[in-house]
Amino acid sequence: MHKVLEVSIVLWLASLLCSCASVSVVDTWRNPELRPQRLQKILVVSINNKDAARHVYEDMLASELSRKGVEAIPGYTVIPGAAFADWGVLDRAVRRAQAQAILTVQTTKVERQTSVQPDSAYPGYWYPQGFPTWDFPGYYRSMALYGPTYVTTYDVATMQVNLFDAGTDKLIWAATMQSTDPQKVTTVGQDLARKVVKKLAKEGLI
């Protein structure tokens, strides 16, 4: 019985952990008025006041874009952290880089959520006084399906990804995404980059 319960618990926890760093696409939007040619050069900017996280997101997106033949420039390589909030610095960096578009990513909201896996019915005891006819087979058949209640608390982050045309400053494409356990920046960044670049390729933008 213990072995069955252990396997069930391990499988459930494994599925939970696998989902912890997953990124899902909630919604996307495409500007019907803009039909640019396939973009060859993109500046990637993570709007984040934590330099380490900013570098990870920009590097992941730039790396994934380069696999599609796009020359992608991580923003931190041309925009110093101290000047990050200065629009003039960003604007000059875009012009110097001669980028056709700017791809931005930003976490807009983090919410704490709780998941409850309810237990199976359990009488609280199994002694002969309560179940005089029980033997090992009867006990095993009943208890092999039993599991206690598990309560898991985790964070869900909402992220906004935008692609702007460098020539007109207009929004070309946008996506709203969600990830669980956003503290795992590297894993979330990799998954987000793969999904964003896949969507951009599907739209014919890269």
Q: Is the pLDDT of residue 10 over 50?
A: no
Question: What is the pLDDT at residue 155?
Answer: 84
pLDDT digit string (tens) for 77-118?
988 776 677 788 888 888 888 999 999 999 999 888 787 776
Question: What is the pLDDT at residue 122?
Answer: 57
Distance, CA of 199 to CA of 175 (rounded, Å): 9
Mean pLDDT on 9-32: 67
pLDDT digit string (tens) for 158-190?
999 999 999 999 999 999 999 987 888 899 999
Q: Is the pLDDT of residue 15 over 70?
A: no
Most confident by average pLDDT, 8-12, 37-41, 138-142: 37-41
Distance, CA of 144 to CA of 2 (rounded, Å): 8
Question: What is the pLDDT at residue 181?
Answer: 79
185 versus 134: the higher-pLDDT residue is: 185
Tell me the pLDDT of the chain averaged across its residues.
82
Residue 45 — pLDDT band, cuts 50, 70, 90? very high
Residue 134 — pLDDT band, cuts 50, 70, 90? low
